[in-house]
Structure 1
């Protein structure tokens, strides 16, 4: 009987290991590219973010409140003024009571 035993070739096993590592690397690359965080597209002109809209609304409300609670000229040449709402209501009530 012969005691010949086959030893695995080192180049064949090295090739198998390299192919397995390469396969895992390709798989990892595909997963990485698939799950990359995507940047949102830039907004077109005239479109505002929710934060910008919220800030614009707060600014508008502040201006409206200031106009409703303060004195100011609407048209100085025509002599038209703006008065606070509370005072306008009081004047209107006085005028209605004076007519009665």
Structure 2
């Protein structure tokens, strides 16, 4: 008996097609990366960039614990001082201890009664009693004609 001649299978993988697919995939990925960079690079090119600022390496806190201690110390200092927040609007800041004592001794104001009182003619008295030198009190007295 003669041996049958066997041929290698040629239908499974074609090396040329595999290399073409791999090359095409590589070209697609490179073009996609370039396209993404062009589409989503939002850095304005017309603005001059400072020499010491780098978006890749932002400035970090060198001593975060000390920064927190300083921040809290400043907050505590603000809670203990007397001063104007907005002088023109008549808004002042009082020390927190004084504010707590005032609340304990006088209680919280009843805003519903003050709203109805300010709607009437006696509203200026409430404003003047609460903050006599405030611009709101002067405006109220001018509008009601009781300027002293």
Bucket of the pairwise TM-score, normalised by the shorter protein? 0.3 to 0.5
What is the TM-score of this pair, normalised by structure 2? 0.32
Q: Structure 1-normalised TM-score?
A: 0.46
